[in-house]
Chain A
Amino acid sequence: MLQLTDIERYYRNGLRKTWVLNRVNLNIKEGEFVTIMGPSGAGKSTLLNILGLLEAPSGGNYEFLGERVDKLSEKKRSELHKAYMGFVFQAYHLIDDLTVYENIETPLLYRGIGKKERKSMVAEILDRFNIVAKQDLFPDQLSGGQQQLVGVARAVISKPRLLLADEPTGNLHTKQGDQIMELFRELNKDGVTIIQVTHSERNAAYGTRKIELLDGNIQEDQYLESASAL
């Protein structure tokens, strides 16, 4: 599905360059559930941002669905976001001024989906995630776990083929975290490709592949036996 070739990312600090990612090569196929791990500062989030087209690489080649995407215009990037990608963030990043319903609805608005269809899509996902009762609440009225559920719901409502998650359970209790991971596994079974960044081995165990990042290099790339180890 996507192919990274010699991807670099560095920051210029005066005359000095600081590398965050150093010639990363990576190939991810459709249907994989990839976990990116590594210590703080290894470049995990940067890699995820590059994969999600939120940040441009300083060098290298990124092919997404067979097309080069590392030097796209903002408009083209936005089109890819709309068509293929969903994001889940550690801090949930719900829009404070919108209710649960409206937060979930917003991606559909950007996709120009009609009112009736929006309504049924949101209703369906609220039902599936068991948060119908919360639909009129604002984010600050929800617990962290509930907020992240909304975050995931918002990410998947537009049926993305790629779901990118940056420490999705980082702010959650273990139990809430497991709930989100179960959800991811289900989505993965339905065919959604998932790439997550995490510190937690427990979360990694839900995936099908584990990539270990250290100082901007891939240290280890390992396919897991069975996704149902737990």
Chain B
Amino acid sequence: MLQNYFKIAARNLWRNKLHAFINVLGLSIGLGACLVIYLLAEYELSFDTFRTDKERIYRIYSSFDGVFSGFNRGVPTAMASLVEEEQQLIESSAAFQVVSGSIKVDDRDLLRQQEGIAIASPTYFDVFPDYEWLVGNPVTSLSEPYKAVLTEERAKQYFDITDPGEAIGQQFHFRDSLPLTVAGIIANIPKRTDLDFEMFISHSTIEASWLKNNYEPNNWSNTNSSHQVFVKLQSGIEPEQVEATLGQDAKALYKKDSYFGDDVDAGFHLQSFTDLHYNADLSIFDHSREPAHMPTLYALLSIAGILLFIAIINFINLETAQASRRSLEVGIRKAIGGTRKELIIQFLLETLVLTVVAVAVSLALAKVGLRYFADYIPEGVGLDITSPLHLSFLLGLTLTVALLAGAYPAFIMSGYKPAFALKGKAKNSGHVNLRRGLIIFQFIIAQALIFGNLAIGQQLNYMLNKDMGFEKDAIVYFYVPWQSANEKKIILANELRAYPEIKALSLHEQTPASSSYSTTVMKYQSKSGEEIKYSTYRKFGDTSFIHLYGMDIIAGRNMVPSDTLYEILVNEAYAEYLGFDNPADALGEQLDYGDGKMVPIVGVVDNFHFSSLHDKIEPVVIGSDIDDYGIIGLKLQITGQEGAHIQAILERMEQSWNKIYPGEPFEYNFLDETIANFYRSERRASVLSTFAMSIAILISCLGLLGLISYTTAQRTKEIGIRKVLGASVQQLVALLTKDFVILVLVAAVVALPIGWYMSKQWLQDFAYHIHLDWWMFVLVTGAAILIALLTVSFRALRAALANPADSLKYE
């Protein structure tokens, strides 16, 4: 019996190749999209799920409120010893430094900027015991100073060996001058972990070496995001208990022992280890991968659901459109003894066969999709046919989709009354309304997505082209090494100034618009005696800063050259905030720069965007302090120049750099690209919505195609009669397509408000955004109508052109 069903299914597919093709295609596109998104979600959600006792592990992080404020994923170095004392609450703790730097093995080339290095004590492996030790163990390998443990892969890479054991006892240098000896080898770390350290340096090395100058152990003043403390709580202990005891102790100690103790209120909190991969505020570690963005993930999952849903709807739609063709078979089978149950099973099996084919096609589509979206998808995402999880997902997906897509058509078709079915007159009128409903639903989703896509595209375009209030073209900037001596910066700047191709150059703290920022609380004593305190944004720089970026002084003058804070420029927004409607009135006023140092306002610059367009323009101050300048920005003379020419300038700049900062990488940025990168997540959203929109449109078109095929087939006779009576081809095409335009318009009534509302919500994230104009509504529905008409017109035309003699011959 089963065999017979499969045979029928296969032959039926073959006989109706076009129908089957449309059906399988629609389903596989939906499935493919769903699969890609599943793989992505599964990837992000599977990080560190294998860790033993992961729900008892927490990271301690800091918060500050005062002269500086915000969160820091690290803690003061003194936290390490404090947690060790709390044994009633804490089973084990791991304090470690996340570092990066060059590696030098004797006679081999210097390996620059090696990441994934932790300076840790053996207790790290008490908190995270899931490491496989190939040689050595935590205690023997990491207790003494100047010892290192490598993964098998790193050991092979550094020492060019085949057996990782050979690395034991080998020596190498970290950051030029720290000699280390390999004392242990661990197995390669799994792909899906955020603890992706491939090298451990014994923690005792810090005290024993010059590292102690950098990492200042046992110090409450030094809070660096690289200094991490993870704790594993005793069973039954809640994180709140730890925050209440240890957190309060630490807070008190910070107040007492920290250099900032009087000015800053510190807090110490526990972050669940299972939250590590998803917390965008704290991020994972220094230089680590970006945390997964849960809202994006949820958005993706709902898109996957919607796409799959409309693909299933499409399938149902196309199947029921074909139902009358199958009704005769239903009649025959019932007459010769087939029960309804048997027919339902038969139709469900046919759907299953189609679904299996569609899943197979979707695997290929997913593969293409993953490659196409490679820029947006982490490297480890991919289908692994051997993974039981992936296999069971595929199996579950296949069965669920087959059941959802097949149940309704099977139920309807198996219910045909045999006497009618045998006459080929299965009743169908009810399904026409259902099918119209389904098409309307598809077009609601499609039009809402088109609208959203249009809004995102418009906003992106607006953001990339909006006048920022400063120049961004042909400007290159780069960071000098952290805490570089001022003399070196000046030597490099002077050398570059001599380049004829460099039109202007400035040393400054930050580019006019940047994604990171610093603020200072400034005070102003107004005429009425009121103290106006405001946390202003700092954009310090030398005197060429405003010239380089083409900012306009609307009142007063530029600062005079100075290496320390002497005079100050404010933007118009700050002048207004201080109560000067006329910017010129602010000139000569004195500002208190925090520590009581009074600085005069000598000029007011026109407002400019200090950050992405997400943020409103806020009060900004521009002062001078050479210690703070970490950026050299310069404007290139590049009008009409070739890319190769610019490349040559950059190479020469690198040579100048290498003379002053040998061994440090020269990494330059173009300002316009940096600004474009502010909107990376919006661009991602745009790509995503385009993708979802295209698929929704594609599937909806397939649905339309199915419906028009059905209606033209149903109305063949009517068309023949009308033609005989004198209807023109245009009139007939209009007759057949009019309904579809109405369907799209009905869908628009629902879709446009949804699209409008969601776009409006999205735009609220931007202080400066486009307005949703009436033309967008017209464009969206116009596009949808056009797409619908293009899809149905071919079929309609063919029906209208048919010879009426053929269509009237039957009956």
When the two chains form their complex, are residues B422 and A89 in contact, meaning their CB atoms are under 8 A apart?
A: yes
Q: Which residues of B contact A107 (CB under 8 A)?
A: 336-337
When the two chains form their complex, are residues A109 and B329 in contact, meaning their CB atoms are under 8 A apart?
A: no
Which of A95-103, A142-150, A198-206, A207-215 lies at the binding interface? A95-103
* Residue of chain B at shortest CB distance from A50: B419
> Is there a chain B Cβ closer than 8 Å to A82's Cβ?
yes
Q: Which residues of A contact B12 (CB under 8 A)?
A: 97
Interface residues of A in 65-111 (CB under 8 A from B): 74-75, 78, 81-82, 86-87, 89, 93-98, 102, 105-107, 109-111
Partner of B335, one of A74, A81, A97, A105: A81
Closest-CB distance, B319 to chain A (whole angstroms):
16
A54-B419, A55-B417, A93-B331 given as contacts; is B339 within 8 A of A75 (CB)? yes
When the two chains form their complex, are residues A111 and B417 in contact, meaning their CB atoms are under 8 A apart?
A: no
When the two chains form their complex, are residues A110 and B7 in contact, meaning their CB atoms are under 8 A apart?
A: no
Q: Which residues of B contact A89 (CB under 8 A)?
A: 422
When the two chains form their complex, are residues A52 and B335 in contact, meaning their CB atoms are under 8 A apart?
A: yes
Q: For the complex, what is the distance from the CA of A87 to the CA of B4, rounded to whole Å?
A: 21
Q: For the complex, what is the distance from the CA of A12 to the CA of B445, rounded to whole Å?
A: 41
A75-B339, A87-B336, A97-B11 given as contacts; is B418 within 8 A of A54 (CB)? yes
> Is there a chain A Cβ closer than 8 Å to B809's Cβ?
no
Interface residues of B in 266-309 (CB under 8 A from A): none
Q: Which residues of B contact A46 (CB under 8 A)?
A: 419
> Is there a chain B Cβ closer than 8 Å to A188's Cβ?
no
> Is there a chain A Cβ closer than 8 Å to B760's Cβ?
no
> Is there a chain B Cβ closer than 8 Å to A158's Cβ?
yes
Interface residues of B in 405-424 (CB under 8 A from A): 417-419, 422
When the two chains form their complex, are residues B7 and A78 in contact, meaning their CB atoms are under 8 A apart?
A: no
> Is there a chain A Cβ closer than 8 Å to B60's Cβ?
no
Give the one of A54, A94, A96 with max B CB within 10 A: A54
* Residue of chain B at shortest CB distance from A52: B335
Q: Which residues of B contact A22 (CB under 8 A)?
A: none
> Is there a chain A Cβ closer than 8 Å to B333's Cβ?
yes
A49-B419, A102-B4, A109-B1 given as contacts; is B15 within 8 A of A96 (CB)? yes
Closest-CB distance, A100 to chain B (whole angstroms):
14
> Is there a chain B Cβ closer than 8 Å to A44's Cβ?
no
When the two chains form their complex, are residues A109 and B15 in contact, meaning their CB atoms are under 8 A apart?
A: no
A96-B15, A97-B11, A110-B342 given as contacts; is B337 within 8 A of A82 (CB)? yes
When the two chains form their complex, are residues A74 and B339 in contact, meaning their CB atoms are under 8 A apart?
A: yes
Q: Which residues of B contact A81 (CB under 8 A)?
A: 334-337
When the two chains form their complex, are residues B15 and A93 in contact, meaning their CB atoms are under 8 A apart?
A: no
When the two chains form their complex, are residues A102 and B7 in contact, meaning their CB atoms are under 8 A apart?
A: yes
> Is there a chain B Cβ closer than 8 Å to A185's Cβ?
no
Partner of B4, one of A49, A74, A106: A106
Q: Which residues of A contact B341 (CB under 8 A)?
A: 75
Give the one of A81, A82, A154, A158 with max B CB within 10 A: A81
Q: Mark B334-352, 1 if CB is under 8 A from A, else 0.
A: 1111111110000000000
> Is there a chain A Cβ closer than 8 Å to B328's Cβ?
yes
Q: For the complex, what is the distance from the CA of A100 to the CA of B801, rounded to whole Å?
A: 38
When the two chains form their complex, are residues A95 and B4 in contact, meaning their CB atoms are under 8 A apart?
A: no
Q: Which residues of B contact A105 (CB under 8 A)?
A: 4
Q: For the complex, what is the distance from the CA of A86 to the CA of B418, rounded to whole Å?
A: 14
> Is there a chain A Cβ closer than 8 Å to B789's Cβ?
no
Q: Which residues of B contact A98 (CB under 8 A)?
A: 7-8, 11
Closest-CB distance, B723 to chain A (whole angstroms):
28
Closest-CB distance, B102 to chain A (whole angstroms):
71
> Is there a chain A Cβ closer than 8 Å to B332's Cβ?
yes
Closest-CB distance, A90 to chain B (whole angstroms):
10
Q: For the complex, what is the distance from the CA of A59 to the CA of B8, rounded to whole Å?
A: 38
Q: Which residues of B contact A96 (CB under 8 A)?
A: 15, 329
Partner of A110, one of B15, B328, B338, B418: B338
* Residue of chain A at shortest CB distance from B332: A93
Interface residues of B in 1-34 (CB under 8 A from A): 1, 4, 7-8, 11-12, 15
Q: For the complex, what is the distance from the CA of A46 to the CA of B333, rounded to whole Å?
A: 19
Q: Which residues of A contact B418 (CB under 8 A)?
A: 54-55
When the two chains form their complex, are residues B11 and A93 in contact, meaning their CB atoms are under 8 A apart?
A: no
A93-B331, A97-B8 given as contacts; is B336 within 8 A of A110 (CB)? yes
When the two chains form their complex, are residues B337 and A158 in contact, meaning their CB atoms are under 8 A apart?
A: yes
Q: For the complex, what is the distance from the CA of A14 to the CA of B422, rounded to whole Å?
A: 25
* Residue of chain B at shortest CB distance from A88: B335
Q: Which residues of A contact B419 (CB under 8 A)?
A: 46, 49, 54-55
Q: For the complex, what is the distance from the CA of A102 to the CA of B11, rounded to whole Å?
A: 13
Q: Which residues of B contact A55 (CB under 8 A)?
A: 417-419
Q: Which residues of A contact B15 (CB under 8 A)?
A: 96-97
When the two chains form their complex, are residues A95 and B340 in contact, meaning their CB atoms are under 8 A apart?
A: no
Q: Which residues of B contact A94 (CB under 8 A)?
A: 332
Q: For the complex, what is the distance from the CA of A52 to the CA of B7, rounded to whole Å?
A: 29
When the two chains form their complex, are residues B329 and A95 in contact, meaning their CB atoms are under 8 A apart?
A: yes
A54-B419, A55-B417, A89-B422 given as contacts; is B337 within 8 A of A78 (CB)? yes
Partner of A78, one of B4, B332, B338: B338
Q: For the complex, what is the distance from the CA of A74 to the CA of B462, rounded to whole Å?
A: 66
Cross-chain pairs A/B with CB under 8 angstroms, 16 sampled? A54-B331, A54-B417, A54-B418, A55-B418, A74-B340, A81-B336, A81-B337, A94-B332, A95-B8, A95-B332, A98-B11, A102-B4, A110-B333, A110-B336, A110-B337, A154-B336
Task: Show the binding face of A for B, using Cβ within 8 Å.
Answer: 46, 49, 52, 54-55, 74-75, 78, 81-82, 86-87, 89, 93-98, 102, 105-107, 109-111, 154-155, 158
